[in-house]
C-alpha cells in the first residue's frame, strides 16, 4: 500500500512525533506499535490517549509544535478539521468527507482501508493499519504483528466469520511466521484460559445458552452431571497444593481431549434442542489466537483476554499502563493491570446487574416505565425502554461510567435475545464534562445484515443536535450536549427505521 509507505517515509524523517490514540484495546495496541516502531527508529516521541477527538483535542493538534502528529485508531472522521502540516493517520473507522475541499490532500498520509475499497469494521483494525505503517518503517517491526491481532479481536473482528478475515489474515500470517501468534480451532467462549468452566458458560453471549447464560447454578449443575467438576471438593487423587485443576474451578485448558469433546458435543446438542439451529452451533467453534511466548493460563496467553485486560486499563484512565504491558513490562505494570482487570470484571458484572428490561406489555411505546414501584422492577434499576418502534435505550447515572457504557450495552444485548431485534442505546454523563452526554449504540450481526449502519446513524443524529459521532456499523458512539437526549433519540430512531425499511424494500 503506497500510502502506508509514504506515511512511513514521512515519520522516519521526523525529529519529533506526537502519537494520539483512543483508550480501548485497539487504540492501546495501535499506540504500542507506533511507540515501539519510533523507539526502534530512534525518534523522540510522546503518546497521548484520548476518549474522543473533540474540538479541544483538534485545536491542540493544530497548534502542536512537533514535526509530525500520528493519529492511530482515530482521526478519519475529523480529517477535514486537522490543519497541522505533519498529520499522519492510521485508522479503520469510516471517513467523513464533510468539509474536505482537497480530495488529494484527504488521501495523503491517511491510511484507511475504506479509502481503498476495504471494510475497516471487519477486515483490519486500527492496530492493523498502524502495523502496516510500522512494517514499512522497518522490516524488523514484523514481530509487532501480534499486537495487531490482539487489537483485531479486541474490536470483535473475528466475530462475524468466527475467524479473522481480509487484511487481518495477511497480518496473521506475519505473526505466525514470527512465532508470536498461534492460531487453532477451538471453543470460542470467552475465558478459555482463566475462567472456571461454570463462569465461562454463565457469561457466554455468543452463542447465547438458554438457561445457562446468566445462571451460575445451572451451569455448575450441568458440569457436575457431565462429570467435569466434582459435586464437592475434588475428584479422586489429590491435586497439588494451590492447584484447582481438578476442583470446581477447573478451566477449559485444564480439560483433557476427551473431556473437551464431551462438553463440546453436549453444548452442540443443547443448542439444537433449544431451537437455536445450526448457525449457533457453528458459532461455538472457531479460530482462536494464543500468544505462545506468554504464560499459559494467564490473560496474556489468549488474544481476546489480553484485549480485555487492555480495555480494563483504558476504560479506567490507565491506558498508558496497558501500553507498557504491550511493550513488554511483566513486572509492576502487569501486576497493576491484572488488579485493574479484576476490578473491571466486577464492575461490569455489577453494572449489567443494574439494567432491567421490563415486560414489554407493561411498557408503553414511548417508554412508560409502569412497572417501576410495583415490586417487579427494583426501584434502583436502570430500565431499558423502547423509543418508537426501532430502538431501545437506557439512561445511566454515575453508577455506570461513560467509559464502559458501550461495553455494558453490548454485553446486555448479547446475553438477552428478547431485545436483540433492535439496537440498544446507552447514555451516560461524561465524567469530566457534566454538560456533555456520552451515547453508545450497539447492534447485532443480524441487524447489520438487515441494513443497520450505526456509524452513519450516530454521526447523522449527533450532527443534527450539535454533537459528534461515528464508529462502525455494529457499534458506534457519540457525544451530545446535556438536555438534547430526547432530540437525539428521535433522530436516531428515524434514521435506524429508514435503514431497516430501505433494506427490507430492496430485499
Give pLDDT tens digits for 103-126: 444 557 999 999 999 999 999 999
**Beta strand 16-22 pairing with 68-72:** parallel
Q: Round to whole Å and give the CA distance between 213 and 407.
A: 17
C-alpha cell at 87: 498529520
C-alpha cell at 313: 486499563
3-state secondary structure (DSSP) of residue 55 = helix
- By CB atoms closer than 10 A (0-12, 13-18, 19+), residue 492 is buried
Does 234 score more than 90 pLDDT?
Answer: no
Does 368 score more than 80 pLDDT?
Answer: no
Residue ranges covered by each domain of the chain? 2-181, 189-290, 357-506
- pLDDT at residue number 232: 67
Q: How far is CA 44 from CA 36, 47, 131, 347, in A?
A: 11, 11, 19, 37
Using a pLDDT cut of 90, give the percent of the chain over it. Answer: 76
Ranking 178-192, 342-356, 485-499 by mean pLDDT, the lowest is: 342-356
Class for the domain spanning 357-506? alpha beta
Please calculate the CA angle 397-400-401 and round it to the nearest 5 degrees. Answer: 100
Higher pLDDT, 446 or 33: 33
Q: What's the CA dihedral at 470, 101, 58, 474 to 10 degrees? A: 10
Confidence band for 408, pLDDT divided at 50, 70 and 90: very high
Pick the CATH number of 2-181 from 3.20.20.120, 3.30.870.10, 1.10.357.10, 3.90.1640.30: 3.90.1640.30
Asked if 335 and 328 touch (Cβ cutoff 8 Å), the reply is no
Does 18 score more than 60 pLDDT?
Answer: yes
**Which of left, alpha, beta for 273 (phi over 0: left; psi -120 to 50: alpha)?**
alpha
- pLDDT at residue number 235: 45
- CB atoms under 10 Å from CB of 66, counted, come to 18
Amino acid at each position: 500500500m503506497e500510502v502506508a509507505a509514504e506515511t512511513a517515509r514521512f515519520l522516519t524523517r521526523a525529529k519529533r512525533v506526537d502519537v494520539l490514540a483512543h483508550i480501548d484495546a485497539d487504540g492501546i495496541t495501535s499506540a504500542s506499535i507506533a511507540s515501539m516502531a519510533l523507539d526502534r527508529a530512534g525518534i523522540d516521541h510522546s503518546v497521548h490517549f484520548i476518549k474522543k477527538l473533540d474540538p479541544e483535542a483538534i485545536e491542540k493538534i493544530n497548534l502542536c509544535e512537533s514535526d509530525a502528529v500520528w493519529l492511530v485508531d482515530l482521526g478519519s472522521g475529523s480529517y477535514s478539521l486537522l490543519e497541522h502540516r505533519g498529520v499522519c493517520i492510521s485508522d479503520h473507522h469510516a471517513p467523513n468527507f464533510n468539509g474536505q475541499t482537497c480530495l488529494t490532500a484527504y488521501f495523503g498520509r491517511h491510511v484507511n482501508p475504506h479509502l481503498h475499497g476495504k471494510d475497516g469494521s471487519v477486515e483490519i483494525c486500527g492496530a492493523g493499519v498502524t502495523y502496516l505503517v510500522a512494517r514499512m518503517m522497518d522490516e524488523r517491526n514484523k514481530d509487532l504483528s501480534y499486537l495487531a491481532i490482539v487489537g483485531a479481536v479486541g474490536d470483535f473482528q473475528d466475530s462475524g466469520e468466527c475467524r479473522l478475515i481480509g487484511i487481518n489474515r495477511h497480518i496473521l500470517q506475519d505473526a505466525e511466521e514470527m512465532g508470536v501468534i498461534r492460531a487453532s480451532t477451538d471453543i470460542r467462549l470467552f475465558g478459555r484460559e482463566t475462567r472456571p468452566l461454570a463462569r465461562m458458560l454463565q457469561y457466554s453471549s455468543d452463542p447465547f445458552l438458554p438457561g445457562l447464560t446468566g445462571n451460575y447454578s445451572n451451569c455448575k449443575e450441568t458440569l457436575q452431571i457431565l462429570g467435569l467438576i466434582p459435586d464437592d471438593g475434588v475428584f479422586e487423587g489429590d491435586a497439588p497444593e494451590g492447584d484447582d485443576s481438578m476442583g470446581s474451578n477447573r478451566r477449559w485448558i485444564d480439560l483433557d481431549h476427551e473431556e473437551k469433546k464431551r462438553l463440546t458435543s453436549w453444548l452442540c446438542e443443547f443448542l439444537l434442542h433449544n431451537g437455536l439451529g445450526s448457525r449457533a452451533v457453528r458459532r461455538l467453534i472457531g479460530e482462536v489466537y494464543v500468544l505462545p511466548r506468554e504464560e499459559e493460563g494467564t490473560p496474556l496467553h489468549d488474544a481476546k483476554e489480553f484485549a480485555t485486560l487492555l480495555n480494563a486499563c483504558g476504560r479506567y484512565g490507565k491506558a498508558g499502563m496497558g501500553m507498557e504491558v504491550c511493550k513488554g513490562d511483566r513486572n509492576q505494570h502487569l501486576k497493576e493491570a491484572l488488579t485493574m482487570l479484576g476490578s473491571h470484571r466486577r464492575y461490569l458484572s455489577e453494572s449489567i446487574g443494574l439494567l432491567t428490561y421490563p415486560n414489554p406489555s407493561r411498557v408503553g411505546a414511548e417508554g412508560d416505565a409502569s412497572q417501576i414501584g410495583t415490586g417487579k422492577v427494583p426501584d434502583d434499576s436502570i430500565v431499558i425502554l423502547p423509543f418508537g418502534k426501532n430502538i431501545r435505550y437506557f439512561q445511566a447515572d454515575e453508577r455506570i461510567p461513560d467509559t464502559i457504557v458501550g461495553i455494558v450495552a453490548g454485553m446486555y444485548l448479547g446475553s438477552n435475545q428478547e431485545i436483540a431485534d433492535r439496537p440498544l442505546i446507552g447514555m451516560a454523563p461524561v465524567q469530566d464534562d457534566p454538560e456533555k452526554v456520552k451515547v453508545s449504540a450497539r447492534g447485532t450481526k443480524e441487524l447489520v445484515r438487515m441494513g443497520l449502519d450505526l456509524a452513519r446513524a450516530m454521526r447523522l443524529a449527533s450532527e443534527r443536535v450539535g454533537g459528534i459521532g461515528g464508529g462502525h456499523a455494529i457499534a458506534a458512539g457519540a457525544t451530545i450536549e446535556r438536555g438534547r437526549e430526547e432530540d437525539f433519540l428521535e433522530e436516531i430512531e428515524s434514521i435506524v427505521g429508514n435503514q431497516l425499511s430501505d433494506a427490507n424494500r430492496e430485499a
